Amino acid sequence: MIQNNALTLHVEEITKDFVGLRALEDVTLSLHRGEILGLIGPNGSGKTTLINVITGFLKPTRGRVRVGDTDITGWPPHRIAHVGLARTFQTIKLFRGLTVLENVEVAAVSAGLSRPQARERALWALERVGATHLATIPAGALPYGEERRIEVARALASRPIFLFLDEPAAGLNEQESDTLLEMLTPLPRETGCGMLIVDHDMRLIMRLCHRLHVLNYGRTICEGTPNEVRHDKEVIAAYLGSGRRMLPC
């Protein structure tokens, strides 16, 4: 893992083509350690595709991804994970026959830690997300909202430099979303990681993120603070049509 507190993730002019479809076109963004960046946009705007490119699950048609001065473009996911990038997925991928602690340990072992180190790291990650009390419970017995919490713990188990959360509030009710907000808000400060979050829960996004990056049809249409983005005419039109004055908060 690269150990440098001043590192920045640079995504430079990323374009991704599929057969007959351009999913991303010249997307450029940066993510600093200690900050929370929201990646938002209507359905089909390319948000998950961009995360997949950054974390190695897809290769870009053109463009570069750098961590500091290290070019990681096109690296396989396991190699990118060892550089310090971790992610969650829209579909929860817990091992339901294992305990919560064992699930998080598996993630730590896959990051290259020994079993004793993985146990220590897993307990640390569960503490960070407020889930130590769930350690001995089978993952298959968890309520849906707690499954989302454990997915974040699994990603944290590798102590990432940059953490990518793909729709962590999907399927959560308002109370569960508020709990997620309380859990996520201190993580960059406490762990030193940079966090990029994709979600359609605008109430969560507007309160959680320091900056927002907005995609529509695979292109960047706006960047700025949550308040700046809420009032941007192109963003409002993309989400709501031209009849509304601002996004909800």
Place of tokens 């730590």: 108
Residue 237 neighbours by CB under 8 Å, 6+ apart? none
Q: Please say whether the beta carbons of 238 and 41 come within 8 A.
A: yes
Q: What is the pLDDT of residue 90?
A: 83
Q: What is the pLDDT of residue 110?
A: 83
Q: What is the pLDDT of residue 214?
A: 96
Query: What are the structural domains, with CATH classification, of the chain?
Result: 1-84+160-249 (3.40.50.300), 97-158 (no CATH)
Q: Please say whether the beta carbons of 164 and 132 come within 8 A.
A: no
Average confidence (pLDDT) over 24-30: 97
pLDDT of 2 > 80? The answer is no
Residue 33 neighbours by CB under 8 Å, 6+ apart? 5, 6, 7, 8, 161, 162, 188, 192, 193, 194
Residue 87 neighbours by CB under 8 Å, 6+ apart? 51, 55, 155, 163, 164, 165, 166
Q: What is the pLDDT of residue 145?
A: 85
Q: What is the pLDDT of residue 159?
A: 86
Which of the four pLDDT bands, split at 50, 70 and 90, describes residue 243? very low
What predicted TM-score, i.e. pTM, was given to this entire model?
0.90
User: How does pLDDT run across 120-165, given as a tens digit for each residue?
Assistant: 999 999 999 999 999 999 999 999 889 988 999 999 998 899 999 9
3-state SS, residue 96? coil
User: How does pLDDT run across 177-220, given as a tens digit for each residue?
Assistant: 999 999 999 999 999 999 999 999 999 999 999 999 999 999 99
pLDDT of 12 > 80? The answer is yes
Pairing of strands 219-224, 70-71: unpaired
Average confidence (pLDDT) over 57-84: 94
Which of the four pLDDT bands, split at 50, 70 and 90, describes residue 249? low
Q: How far is residue 55 from each of residues 59, 67, 68, 130, measured CA to CA in Å?
A: 9, 11, 15, 26
Average confidence (pLDDT) over 49-66: 97
Average confidence (pLDDT) over 81-105: 91
Q: What is the pLDDT of residue 245?
A: 53
Greater model confidence, 241 or 101: 101
Percent of the residues in the chain that have a pLDDT greater than 70, as a whole number: 94
| DSSP-assigned letter for residue 210 | S
Q: What is the pLDDT of residue 4?
A: 58
Average pLDDT in the chain: 91
Place of tokens 């109370």: 175
Greater model confidence, 61 or 2: 61
Percent of the residues in the chain that have a pLDDT greater than 90, as a whole number: 76
Which of the four pLDDT bands, split at 50, 70 and 90, describes residue 57? very high
